[in-house]
Structure 1
Amino acid sequence: MPRHSNSEQILSGQELHPGFGAAQIIGRMIDALKVGTQSGLARELGVSRGAISDAKAKNKVPSDWMLKLFRAYSLNPFWLETGRGAMFLREDEVREDLQVTDAVQQDGYEYIPLVEARLAGGGGSSETSDKVVGYYAFRRSWLRGRGALESMRLMRVTGESMEPTLQDEDVVLVDLAQHDILVGKIYAVRMDDEIVVKRLERKPGKLVLVSDNRKYYEPLDVPVGDQTNVEVLGRVLWVGRELM
């Protein structure tokens, strides 16, 4: 069995990037699985040897092959496509948070990483790690209309200050490239060593952090400038909720 190693790379879509052809990807599959030949790879994938040859001829690797090897061996699709990063993802980083269905085996999806960092809806969250713990699948066309794919991360919300909009344990999609403040929109904000999620407003020399649950959480005015450690990390674009 292949040994797993750590990776925090984003899983890209299944369309081949310029300069990385099907022959190179298939070669990396063979090397990673140590099967030696295209016939051996075909057996692992449950396809005919001719299907491997067809993929090379058409310069397109079916996305369900990538998904199958990811599920079976934690083989890193980013490494398969580009040759960069770790060959395998650690098993403890590939958890049930990977939300995929059979439809994801079709082209047109991006895998966005869910990281350990939590956005506090209440007091600040001290969990700020960018370690990847899973992936959610989104339609590529939907994402491209909303922000920079390479800068998107998923994080969980902790606390109740943003209720009813955001609830405890909700998963939110954050574009870390969107730093310009649109008044009233929701952002992830780093304050010293903590992260909070709030609506943002501006006052002269101040950033106003506004909670939706105003009955218990008053707006907070935070001075901005060279002497303060406040950073707008990115804008919240989407929220998903699990029904317990």
Structure 2
Amino acid sequence: MSEQKYFVDHDTNSETHSFQGRLKIAMDQIGGFSALMRETGLSNSAISNYLKGRKPKIDIAIKIAEVCKVDAAWLILGGQHDKSTDIISHSSKNEIINIPLLNVEASAGNGLVSPEWHDAEMIPFSRDLVYQLLGSVPKSLFMMRVQGDSMSPTIHPKDILFVDYAPNRLTQGIYVMAAGELTLVKRLAAKDPTTFSVISDNTAYPTFDVPMERACWGNASPDADLRIVGRVIKVLHDFD
């Protein structure tokens, strides 16, 4: 198997500071524009648009990274300054971890009936980059895409969420949650000592309340009206 490579930025003016700059570097690994078209099946116009600044869907970015044999997280997110080397092998100082990208969209709207949750693609990230992005490397982590605008301007349609699903004390924050058959992303806050308010940042959407005794993590309570799937710890706005 060919060794995957992880590139790092040298300064904030570096070519790798933008997605199109990183894409140019990635293409060079396999012979340029024509080779990328041939190996990915992407059209001339699609690649041209990406080189002009249009962001691909994350699954397309992952496919490009795999074909070009570069770190998918680096291509999508970029990296930090490191003067020691231009290219860092994933087998050296950067351990690779796989984060599942669920094949389900949480609705920042009125709700979405979710398909099978177990159908996820494992996305490779360097541990250093995850730490840079999140400030920690949670073991209980997944990613998912958002649809709907009820959390705008905080979260936009097609944004990618990093979600920590380890059960913890419920505090004010943004959570992925399930209400019946619907999967939602909303802000949770304590209305009073016995009631949670489920809030949309977009004021066009109404707030609703749930008794605290009727909310739980996952399937902890068979009678719960609101089940917390995980806490949103990072939002990626870059990819549409």
Q: TM-score under structure 2 normalisation?
A: 0.54
Whether 1:165 aligns to 2:154 is yes
CA offset digits 1:137-156 (Å, max 9, x no partner): 2524347843622x100000
TM-aligned CA deviation for residue 243 of structure 1: 5.1
Question: Which residue of 60, 65, 68 corresponds with 1:96?
Answer: 60
Q: Distance in 2 between matches of 1:141 and 1:159?
A: 29
Aligned counterpart, 1:146: 136
Q: Provide closer, same or farther for how the CA distance between residues 164 and 136 of structure 1 changes in structure 2, counting only shifts above 3 A.
A: farther
Q: Quick check: 2:98–2:122 contact (8 Å CA) kept in 1? A: no
Does the alignment pair 1:241 with 2:230?
no
Distance (whole Å) between structure 1 residues aligned to residue 161 and residue 88 of structure 2: 20
The residue identity in structure 1 corresponding to 2:107 is: A
Residue in structure 2 matched with residue 127 of structure 1 by the alignment: 114
1:228 — aligned with what?
224
Aligned to 1:80: none
How far apart, CA to CA, are the structure 2 residues paired with 1:136 and 1:240?
Answer: 16
Does residue 117 of the first structure (1) align with residue 104 of the second (2)?
yes
Cα deviation 1:41-69 (Å, max 9, x = unaligned):
xxx64xxxxxxxxxxxxxxxx765xxxxx
Question: What is the CA distance between 1:97 and its match in structure 2?
Answer: 5.0
**What does residue 186 of structure 1 align with?**
174
What is the aligned partner in structure 2 of residue 198 from structure 1?
186
The alpha carbon displacement at 1:119 in A equals: 1.2
Q: 1:144/1:171 Cα in 2 relative to 1: closer, same or farther (>3 Å)?
A: closer
How many residues are treated as equivalent by the alignment? 153
CA distance in 1, matches of 2:158, 2:199: 20
Contact 1:146 1:237 in 2 (8 A): no
CA offsets, 1:55-87, max 9 Å, x none? xxxxxxx765xxxxxxxxxxxxxxxxxxxxxxx
**Residues 4-19 of structure 1 aligned to structure 2 (within 5 Å):** none
Structure-2 residue corresponding to 1:217: 205
Question: 1:101, CA displacement in angstroms?
Answer: 4.1
Rounded to whole Å, the distance in 1 between the matches of 2:177 and 2:197 is 11
| Letter aligned with residue 237 of structure 1 | I
Letter in 2 for 1:205: T
Task: Between 216-225 and 233-242, report the one with greater CA deviation.
Answer: 216-225
The percent of aligned pairs where both chains have the same amino acid is 25
Whole-angstrom CA distance in 2 between matches of 1:204 and 1:171 = 32
Distance in 2 of aligned mates of 1:117 and 1:104: 33
What is the rounded CA distance, in whole Å, between the counterparts of 2:88 and 2:60 in structure 1? 16
CA deviation string 1:75-105 (max 9, x = no partner) = xxxxxxxxxxxxxxxxxxx942523447674
> What amino acid is aligned across from residue 158 of structure 2 in structure 1?
E
- Offset of residue 174 of structure 1: 0.1
Q: Distance in 2 between matches of 1:175 and 1:243?
A: 20
- Structure 1 position 175, deviation (Å): 0.3
CA apart distance, 1:213: 0.6
For structure 2, the residue ranges without an aligned partner over 5 or more in a row are 6-57, 63-71, 76-86, 215-222
Contact 1:108 1:140 in 2 (8 A): no
Note the alpha carbon deviations across 1:198-244, whole angstroms, 9 max, x for none. Answer: 11112343221111111x01221123436433111111011112355
Gaps of 5+ in 1: 1-43, 46-61, 65-93
Compute the RMSD of aligned alpha carbons.
2.9
Q: Distance in 2 between matches of 1:134 and 1:97?
A: 14
Tell me if structure 2 keeps the 8 A contact 1:117–1:130.
no
